Amino acid sequence: MNYRHSFHAGNSADVVKHSLLIALVRALQLKQSALTLIDTHAGCGLYDLDGEEAGRTGECMQGVMRAFADPNPLLDDYRTAVQAVNVGTETRFYPGSPKILAQLLRPQDFLILNEKHPEDVHVLRSAMRGTSAAVHERDAYELWLAMLPPRTPRGVVVVDPPYEQLNERERITATLAAAHRKWAHGVTVIWYPLKDRAPHERWKQQLRKLGIPKLLNVEHWLYDHDQPGIYNGAGLFIVNPPYAFTQALPPLLEALRAALAPEGHRGEITADWLGD
């Protein structure tokens, strides 16, 4: 599945991913020790929802625009992060994970971004100007391992590939296994699109075999019944999520489900431990 992010900016997957990412980092920041935040597939950093690529799909109407129309205060942190890159009350621009993570940085924290696509990394550097982020142009999986363990006591690795390569899941699985051997207590977030259940279930079985003790799987299915051949939702694998995050997760997930459910569908969002 090809998931070039500029075509999907601000869709339902972004709303879930970024809402949970904000909650995760904030939970980790309840402790004062420094964090290193690493984004292996950073993309462009900032997206114009009125631009040609995002406008071609219009997916933001079923994502960020629904989140802004929903009154639930549990979505306020997410809305604040999006509004921070816009002027006044308009919602023209959408922040990718790099811009959101940069907003969350404390003085003691560090942000490392990586993007291999030459055009995207040029846009990313421009988008991150004025921040303290370090921007790399390397193979994502090589960088993932090279940066571990980070210099700070704690950290988060965000893995958000476009799934353009047929072996993307295999590379993620192999790199995660190696990363866990180097940095067993580290927090890792792996995003993925949901299209067909069968290959995804096979991937989950492969991840279970890694024997990672704390591997949380959050899945958001948009429709009550799978829609053949189209995007049905997205999910996250989260290694070593902090206790404060998992305890606060159920009401946030319900708020996201309710805000993003397509007309005529209830949708479903779940959180389960893969190792259990």
Output the pTM of the full model. 0.95
Average pLDDT over residues 110-120: 95
Average pLDDT over residues 37-57: 88
Q: Looking at residue 155, which CATH number applies to its domain? A: 3.40.50.150
Q: Which residues span the domain enclosing 197? A: 5-273
Would you please indicate which residues are annotated as catalytic (active-site) residues? 160
- The pLDDT score that the predictor gives to residue 197 is 79
- The pLDDT score that the predictor gives to residue 232 is 87
With CA atoms as reference, report the closest residue to 30 among 247, 188, 256. Answer: 247
Judge whether residue 229 has pLDDT over 70. Answer: no
pLDDT-derived band of residue 145, with 50, 70 and 90 as boundaries? very high
- The pLDDT score that the predictor gives to residue 195 is 85
Q: What percent of the chain has pLDDT over 90?
A: 84
Q: What percent of the chain has pLDDT over 70?
A: 96
Distance CA 177, CA 180 (A): 5
pLDDT-derived band of residue 200, with 50, 70 and 90 as boundaries? confident
Judge whether residue 5 has pLDDT over 80. Answer: no
Counting the structural domains of the chain, the total is 1
